[in-house]
Amino acid sequence: MQSDALNPIEKRTAISLSLVFALRMLGLFMIMPVFAIYGQHLIGYSPIWVGFAIGAYGLTQALLQIPAGMLSDKYGRRPIIFAGLVIFAIGSLVAAYSDSVYGVTAGRALQGAGAIASAVLALAADVTREEQRPKTMGMIGISIGLAFAVAMVAGPVLAPIIGLHGLFLITAAGALTGIAIIHFMVPHVISRAPRGETVAIPALLGKLAKDPQLLRLNAGIFILHMALTAMFVVLPLQLQKMQLAAAIHWHLYLPALLISFLLIIPMLIIAARKDMNRQFYLFAILLMAISLAAMAMTSQSLILMFICVLLYFTAFNFLEASLPAFISMLAPAGAKGSAMGIYSTYQFLGAFCGGILGGLSYKLLGSSGLFLCLAGVMLLWLFISWGMHNPSKICTHTYTTDIQDENHAALLTEKLLTLEGVLEVVIIIEEQTVYIKINKQIFALEKAKEILANT
């Protein structure tokens, strides 16, 4: 009998890789709530260049995320992760010692070139059992959310004391700490999860990019991170105009984030238990549109702005937690790694475009105009997402078994497809791997295992 809990090796892997992810994302996020204010002394400062500097990492992340994952499949996870963290640290130092906004932008782009997300997730998949993999991925996802929350507080608290220079040095130190964590804490297990579960496969990318259900989700993560980045080009300046000193912006961010985390817990639980993921997903998009529209009409009251930010963070955190799970559920059998690679590319490209949109819109329309523009984009997202299937009932099981030849694979496929609840079967003979996409409410797991053992 296999335990339903993570074993000691899996726990070490989940905790250590979550720390690496959190340290890296903390450095990327920490600059967002403070750069528009504390970057004003930099040569070449302007709202447009604020947007470029905040979003620059997204462009290089988007371009290199899939190639880095493929390289990790060829040369090993650790070398690619080590190289990515070194590049990230160098980018942080470039930004720290730049006296112009152009140098900071170049440093941020170099930070993004250390695109290790896909390699880290692949390493997590390699070291964990298939049935425990969602827990590990969930812990990594939670670490990103916590990093965002800490960054929203740490940036405004530390920037008045150590400046942007100090924030970037902390980011570089975090990257080097990540290298030590990977080397000393992550178990050196000789294992490799099936490629379809971990990294992008070039032959599948074109087909997946056109899948209507995945395309809706990819558009969603693009818009979500575009709006987040664009908002933080102007929100710190708006709060300053409302007589909230930059050093205490965290007084608004921290309670809003903490309350939002409390609010999304029942949302996530009810959505899962009642098979209402689609309904809550659409509600969160609408809530974000309402919060942004309300921000546009709030220029005097800090209490009203707090409520707007609270609603925004509640919607953002729910969507940020839900989207990766939906991608995993709706991805074709054997193509989860490729689907996640495309998803990550859209995510980081959204951050880059958000920086540009924020800078341009603030210069042309002001803060209220930008918030209204973003609210309109949210309504467009709501329209795009309306035809999304409910992903609650769908998941993919992965099995490693002895597959003798094509005839044997065809026989296995035929028998598995007769089982109630099986939606799709994909068998990769070279990897000795069977992917079964199922309706988990009516699928009989033991019958599938019996067929695999006896056929």
- pTM value is 0.84
CA distance 346 to 71: 20
Please report, for the domain that includes residue 416, its CATH number.
3.30.70
pLDDT band at residue 9, thresholds of 50, 70 and 90? confident
Comparing 71-75, 89-93, 130-134, 185-189, the range with the smallest average pLDDT is 130-134
Asked whether the beta carbons of 90 and 179 are under 8 A apart, the reply is no
Please count the other Cβ atoms lying within 10 Å of the Cβ belonging to residue 377.
18
Sign of CA dihedral 229, 230, 235, 237: positive
In terms of domains, do 86 and 113 share one? Answer: yes
What is the tens place of the pLDDT at every residue in 136-175?
Answer: 777 887 888 888 889 999 999 999 999 999 999 999 999 9
Comparing 199-208, 364-373, 391-400, 425-434, the range with the smallest average pLDDT is 391-400
Please report, for the domain that includes residue 115, its CATH number.
1.20.1250.20
In terms of domains, do 220 and 365 share one? Answer: yes
What is the tens place of the pLDDT at every residue in 268-286?
Answer: 888 878 888 889 999 999 9
Highest mean pLDDT among 144-148, 238-242, 289-293, 437-441: 289-293
**DSSP state, residue 438:** E
In terms of domains, do 373 and 424 share one? Answer: no
pLDDT band at residue 361, thresholds of 50, 70 and 90? confident
In terms of domains, do 354 and 434 share one? Answer: no
**Per the domain annotation, does 181 fall within a domain?**
yes
Sign of CA dihedral 406, 411, 412, 413: positive
Partners of residue 394 on adjacent β-strands: 439
**Per the domain annotation, does 96 fall within a domain?**
yes
pLDDT at 206: 84
In terms of domains, do 195 and 318 share one? Answer: yes
Please count the other Cβ atoms lying within 10 Å of the Cβ belonging to residue 143.
22
**Per the domain annotation, does 32 fall within a domain?**
yes
Sign of CA dihedral 398, 404, 406, 407: negative
Residue after which a domain boundary falls, among 336, 357, 385: 385
pLDDT at 1: 39
**What is the residue whose two structure tokens read 């528009």?**
36
In terms of domains, do 241 and 202 share one? Answer: yes
**Per the domain annotation, does 2 fall within a domain?**
no
What is the tens place of the pLDDT at every residue in 16-63?
Answer: 999 998 999 898 899 999 999 999 999 999 989 999 999 999 999 999
What's the structural domain count of the chain?
Answer: 2
**What is the residue whose two structure tokens read 């670490």?**
143
What is the tens place of the pLDDT at every residue in 411-434?
Answer: 888 888 888 878 777 787 777 888
DSSP string, 110-154: HHHH---HHHHHHHHHHHS-GGGHHHHHHHHHHHHHHHHHHHHHH
Which of 196, 199, 198 has the alpha carbon at shortest distance from 432? Answer: 196
Residue after which a domain boundary falls, among 385, 412, 438: 385
In terms of domains, do 285 and 372 share one? Answer: yes
pLDDT band at residue 440, thresholds of 50, 70 and 90? confident
**Per the domain annotation, does 393 fall within a domain?**
no
In terms of domains, do 287 and 407 share one? Answer: no
Q: What's the chain's average pLDDT? A: 87
In terms of domains, do 243 and 285 share one? Answer: yes
Sign of CA dihedral 227, 232, 233, 237: positive
In terms of domains, do 220 and 351 share one? Answer: yes
**Per the domain annotation, does 392 fall within a domain?**
no
Sheet containing 394-400: order of strands? 394-400, 433-439, 422-428
**Per the domain annotation, does 396 fall within a domain?**
no
pLDDT at 145: 82
Asked whether the beta carbons of 194 and 433 are under 8 A apart, the reply is yes
Asked whether the beta carbons of 319 and 288 are under 8 A apart, the reply is yes
**Per the domain annotation, does 424 fall within a domain?**
yes
Residue after which a domain boundary falls, among 351, 385, 419: 385
In terms of domains, do 426 and 336 share one? Answer: no
Domain that holds residue 51: 8-385
In terms of domains, do 292 and 430 share one? Answer: no
pLDDT at 292: 96
